[in-house]
Structure formats: structure tokens, C-alpha cells
Structure 1
Amino acid sequence: MTEVDPVRAPDGDAAPEIVVVTGMSGAGRSTVGKVMEDQGWYVIDNLPVSLLPDLLQISAEREGRLVGDTAGERIGLVLNVRAQGFDTLTESIRLLKDQGWRTHLVFLDATNESLVRRFESVRRPHPLQGDGRLLDAIVREREALAEVRATAESIVDTSGLNVHQLSRKVSPLFRGEASERLRLAVLSFGFKYGVPLDADFVFDMRFLPNPYWVPELRPYTGRETQVAEYVLSQPGALEFIDGVDSLLDPVIAGYLREHRSYVTLAVGCTGGKHRSVAIAEALASRLASDEVATFVVHRDLGQE
């Protein structure tokens, strides 16, 4: 068999950016693919991994212009575990990096409970289910994807998110104009619904008095002025925000040096309605800078 020379990336900014999106079935790959298309990515669904060199050869011959006339084309590959050659994906991405391609692996995850609910709601079998149980298929897929998950630069937990919330959460990952900035997701959640799987930092707001027990505040959320003012006026609230700001200073500087692009800071309270929401909004405002693009996701708002 004749050896095929590696397909090297075009020099400089002409090299396309390649983002591979994979993860658990039911975790939202289709939604993420649509978000990428809406932001101008050229998205290919379930391309056999063995055909990736051919795709890149076309791109290289056109000096990084796969579609249209713009250098530095952005290519999105959405893959599931059944894609042909998926077991070689980790090695293929490593080789691409060695050959100068700009690659980023995004892994979508969710709890087993969330995945079971989603498959039952749409009444469709899991791709690996066959004649067996749904939960057994999910466990098998999680085992098969363990190596890929371990090498992903970004892990996104979609548990408890609807389509619109997931779209808002992942959208900053694919914005070209923010590519040189660290994208910091500040995620509020309720501990009663579980800790987010993709959190890099988790903070507990249950040390603050709960507005739930104030009758005139109970119906409102931490996004509304009266609740936010109540939470932020409590002893320790502003000191906490100052402390997180100071704590993250050297961490963010390190992330920028290491060219990390996406970080999730999770802030939790009991139900994810009052304290965590107000603090998340305040932290996102405080931590935003020329180098850090912050955005807020309220995972459990509306659950109660």
C-alpha cells in the first residue's frame, strides 16, 4: 500500500479552524450543529473519520478557503460514536495538531437520568440499544467515549437545559470575533437538581439568607432588582464577589497564557432561583474585561 503524505495546514491565518463536536447521544449534538451553522461555520454531520484527510486536502489546495472567498474558513464536524472510524478520532486529532491544523474538540455530556428522560420523551431508541435496555446502552456508550471525553478541550454539560438554553450556553464557543478572548460562563444552578458536570469552579451560595423565606420576595428571581439588592446587601455577599475576583486573577492569566478558550464557573443555591442567580449576574459583570468575555446561564431558573 502506498504511503500518503500528511496533509499539512496552510501557513498563517489561512489555516481553517476545525471544531469537532461529539458526545453522548441525546446530549444535543444536533442543536450545537445548528448553532454553528447560524454563526457561519461549514458543518458536516458524521463524516467518516477516514475521509478527513480528503476534506483537508481540498481545503489546503484552496489556501484554506473551503467555502466562499474568506481565508481561515471555520469547519465544524459533528460526530457520533457510530461514525465510521470513530475509534481513531483521538489519534486523528493529534495528528492534525502535529500538522499545523487549528483544532478544538467539544464533548457534550449529560447525566444518565437526563438522557433517559430525553429518549423516553421522543420515544426513539438509543443508537446502541438494539433489543436491550436503554440505560444499558447509555452506559456502553459512556464507556466507549471515555477516551475521547478525556482529551476534549471543552466539556459541556447539557443536563437540565432545553434547546434554547443549550443554544445560549454554547453560542459563545463559536463566535469568531471572540476567538482571542477567554470565554467565561457563569452558571447558576440549584443543588437539589445536581451539580453541573462541566463546572471548572463550584461555589455554594447557601451561606446567604434565602429570599424564599421572605414572602414579598418569594415569587421573584435573582434577576429582578428587589431580590438582587436583598442578596447583595447580606453580610458576606460583596466580600465573596471580591474574593472570587481576586482568586481568579492568576487563574485567568494562566488560562490566557495556555490559550484555553472556555471556562465554566458554577454558582449554586438550594433551588437555583434567588441567591445563585443574583450572584451569577454580579460575578459576570465584575469579571468581564478586554481579555475575558463573560456570559450568564441560569440552568434551573423556572424549574419551580
Structure 2
Amino acid sequence: MQLVLISGLSGSGKSVALHLLEDAGYYCVDNLPVTMLTVLVRMLKEEQVRKLAVAIDARSGGGIDQLPDKLRMLAEDGVRHAFLFLYSNEDTLLRRYSESRRRHPLAADNRTLAEAIRLERSLLEPISSLGHRIDTSGLKANALREWVRQFIETEPGQGLTLMFQSFGFKHGLPLDADLVYDVRCLPNPHYDPELKPLTGRDQPVIDFLEGQAEVQRMRGDIARFVGDWLPAYIADNRNYLTVAIGCTGGQHRSVYLAEALGREFAGRARVLVRHRTLAGG
């Protein structure tokens, strides 16, 4: 059986992720108590269910801290699993709840929405680092669906996946980054009227940046650091290593470098390339 577990903060996109998995042929169960996880998996294995997705969050009640032990038990039974944790910053969650006018599952008469969000973050902290984390702050639903699709297609749990993610500093630092590189010091195509509307994936911008010695030096420095330390990250039994590269707007320099580094490391690890700003995040 292939098992995908989804958890995270309410309002961070768990329903979007679960619906995509359902469309991908997974048998989906929402809001399952952790204590019932092994029972459900063993029962569905007997029914020959091959792909199972389970959402576990603060609504599931107590027992969250039992999840690592439950996953070890499933691994001993030969169940391959992947864990996806979705979260957003507080401002994004407050805005989403304000727009949807939905009630937070931990809201109470004596608890504000902000207090409910912080309580949930605290309750889920023990399991937040069990797998791949996606910061959905400001991310559009279509982009999240694509990122979840990439996640299930890279066979998590079968070694390290190296992710190069571009972003714009003016939109905020991505919370899911392991390594962050600031490339705002490099020559900026934004100031060329012909290049301004393009992105780092367009050939005129690529030609401009590849003709800049500073850009190629930065690219080489990042590649050397990641390459030198990649074996250590692999030995640490990580599933994902996210290398975030940021420029001012997340449109030109960071996009070019993420794409270039993705191609450079494609033969050394499973590689994903993501662009937060271009995706709407």
C-alpha cells in the first residue's frame, strides 16, 4: 500500500490537497484520529486498497504525539508512507478565515481567531517536521495542487529530493526553506524595458544573465556549497532539501538561477524546481 498522510494548520490548504489526491485515485479519509490509523490501514489492506490518503489534524483530538510510533509500526508492516505538512503565516490564515467567514475548529467563546490559530500551531508542532513542509502563504489553489501533484509523483520516502525554489523578498521569506540565498546584489533585468515583462525562463533574460560575470560566479558558489554538503544531507535521512533563492520581485534573477541549478543537479538527485512568485505565492 502507498500511504500519504496530510496534516497542517486549518486554512492552509489541506482540503485542496486531499481533493487532488482523490482525483489521483487515492482512497481518502479526512479527520482521522491518530489512534485509528493502524486499524484503518490494516483493514483497507485486506480490502486490496493500494493508494490511501489520510488527513490528520488538531480536530482529531488527542494522540497526535503517537503518530511517530504509528508510522514506525506501519513501516514494519511494509506500508510505504509519505507525510505532507501544510502551513501558512498568521496574517494569511486570518485573511482566509475573514474572507470565507468559516469558524476555526478550535475557536471558542473565550478564544479569539488569532488565539485559536496559535493554539493549533502549538498542538501540531510535534508532528510538523515528520515529512515535507509546504508554506502556502499567499499561494493560489492551482499552484498548491501542482505542488502536491509533484510531491506524490517523486515517490517520497525513497531518498532525498532536492528542491530549488525562487521567491521575491518583497513578498516575504518562504517559511519552508532549508537554505536561503539572497541574489538581490546581481544585475537586474527589471531595469531593461524589453526584459521587464519577461521572466527568468525566457531566453532574452537568460542571455542577459548568462552574460554577467557576477551572476555566473553566484551560480557557481551556490552549486559548490549545495554539492559539497548534499552527501551530508542525504546521510541525515532527509526526504527533502529546499534551497530558496530570492531576488527583489521573484521574477528574473532568482527564477533563472533556480532553473539553472535544477538542470545542473538533475543527474545527482531527484530535483524539483518551484517559483513562488510566478505561481502566485
Q: Which has the larger radius of gyration?
A: 1
Deviation string, structure 1 residues 133-152 (Cα, Å, up to 9, x no partner)? 32222122112222222x42
TM-score by length of 2: 0.88
Q: Give the C-alpha shift of residue 177 in structure 1.
A: 5.5
Mapping 1:1-40, distance limit 5 Å: 16-40=1-25
Mapping 1:287-298, distance limit 5 Å: 287-289=265-267, 292-298=269-275
Aligned counterpart for 2:130 among listed residues 147, 152, 156: 152
Give percent identity, aligned residues only: 35
Alignment coverage as a number of residue pairs: 277
1: distance between equivalents of 2:43 and 2:70?
17
Please say if residues 165 and 297 of structure 1, whose CA atoms lie closer than 8 Å, have aligned partners that are also in contact: no
2: distance between equivalents of 1:261 and 1:92?
18
Q: Which amino acid aligns with 2:66?
A: E
Q: Give the C-alpha shift of residue 44 in structure 1.
A: 1.2
Match of 1:6 in 2: none
2: distance between equivalents of 1:300 and 1:113?
18
Match of 1:41 in 2: 26
Higher fraction of helix? 2
Mapping 1:101-140, distance limit 5 Å: 101-131=79-109, 132-140=111-119
1: distance between equivalents of 2:58 and 2:279?
33
Q: Give the C-alpha shift of residue 162 in structure 1.
A: 0.4
Identify if the C-alpha distance between structure 1 residues 110 and 169 changes in structure 2 by more than 3 Å, giving closer, same or farther: same
Please say if residues 39 and 174 of structure 1, whose CA atoms lie closer than 8 Å, have aligned partners that are also in contact: no
TM-score by length of 1: 0.82
2: distance between equivalents of 1:104 and 1:89?
17
Please say if residues 173 and 262 of structure 1, whose CA atoms lie closer than 8 Å, have aligned partners that are also in contact: no
2: distance between equivalents of 1:255 and 1:246?
14
Q: Tell me, yes or no, if structure 1 residue 97 matches structure 2 residue 72.
A: yes
Match of 2:247 in 1: 269
Please say if residues 231 and 237 of structure 1, whose CA atoms lie closer than 8 Å, have aligned partners that are also in contact: yes
Q: Tell me, yes or no, if structure 1 residue 237 matches structure 2 residue 215.
A: yes
Deviation string, structure 1 residues 40-77 (Cα, Å, up to 9, x no partner)? 332211122232232133245x3xx632xxxxx33221
SS at structure 2 position matched to 1:32: helix
Unaligned ranges ≥5, structure 2: none
2: distance between equivalents of 1:141 and 1:162?
23
Please say if residues 81 and 157 of structure 2, whose CA atoms lie closer than 8 Å, have aligned partners that are also in contact: no
